[in-house]
Amino acid sequence: MTDQGHEARIESALAKARRVRIAVFDIDGVMTDGTLFLDDQGNESKGFNSLDGHGLRMLAHTGITLAIITGRRSRCVELRAMNLGIAHVHQGVDDKLASFDELLGPLGLERADAAYMGDDVVDLPVMRRCGLAVSVPAAPEIVRRHADIVTTRSAGHGAVREACEFIMAAQGSLDTELERYLR
């Protein structure tokens, strides 16, 4: 992509990010590196990144609603969401687009008001219809092609934080959030 094409794409993503009122995240391959740990009893565990967690807290502090839509069902996701104050958690979802629309309706939001971060083809129906689509470097090429931005950081290693900071920067709230720690 030419520098001019890259700049136009970033400007478009920034414009879309300015409108965001809700940020919705997949879990495996986005909030985690996608590795699933299963013990002999079938208990599942995942590794979550604390930088991502703090990015989510900062984004919520700016008034952006946070939500999770994931195809798997896991107690550790419930616990992580509770820890981060994420009230909207949809697990075991087969049709992510239907779940996405069900989430937005009661909140009085339109698709264009939403950012969605996904990493695989099952996320494409939402990514192709939301306001700001975000993905990660390891996502399949078709997914990256449909993303407005692809993070430089990998899933489970700061990608969510990068997405949160992108939205805050676009909305002019990042410096204010960071200033709280420089006092």
> What pLDDT digit, counting tens, does each position of 166-177 carry?
999 999 999 999
Q: Within 13 Å and on the Cβ side, how many CA atoms surround 138? A: 13
- What mean pLDDT is predicted for residues 147-164? 97
> What pLDDT digit, counting tens, does each position of 76-112 carry?
999 999 999 999 999 999 999 999 999 999 999 999 9
Q: What pLDDT does 2 receive?
A: 62
Distance CA 72, CA 98 (A): 16
Distance CA 174, CA 71 (A): 31
Distance CA 120, CA 26 (A): 10
Q: What pLDDT does 44 receive?
A: 84
In the chain, where are the structural domains located?
Answer: 3-179
Q: What pLDDT does 4 receive?
A: 74
CATH architecture of 3-179: 3-Layer(aba) Sandwich (3.40)
For 4-14, b where at least 16 C-beta lie within 10 A, e where not — what string?
Answer: eeeeeeeeebb
* Residue 1 pLDDT grade (very low, low, confident, very high; cuts 50, 70, 90): low
36 within 8 A of 28, measured Cβ to Cβ? yes
* Residue 45 pLDDT grade (very low, low, confident, very high; cuts 50, 70, 90): confident
CB count in 10 Å sphere of residue 93: 19
48 within 8 A of 33, measured Cβ to Cβ? no
Chain-wide mean pLDDT for the chain?
A: 95
The residue among 6, 73, 80, 66 whose CA lies nearest residue 43 is 73
Distance CA 27, CA 173 (A): 25
- What mean pLDDT is predicted for residues 27-44? 91
pTM of the model: 0.94
Answer whether residue 122 shows pLDDT above 80. yes
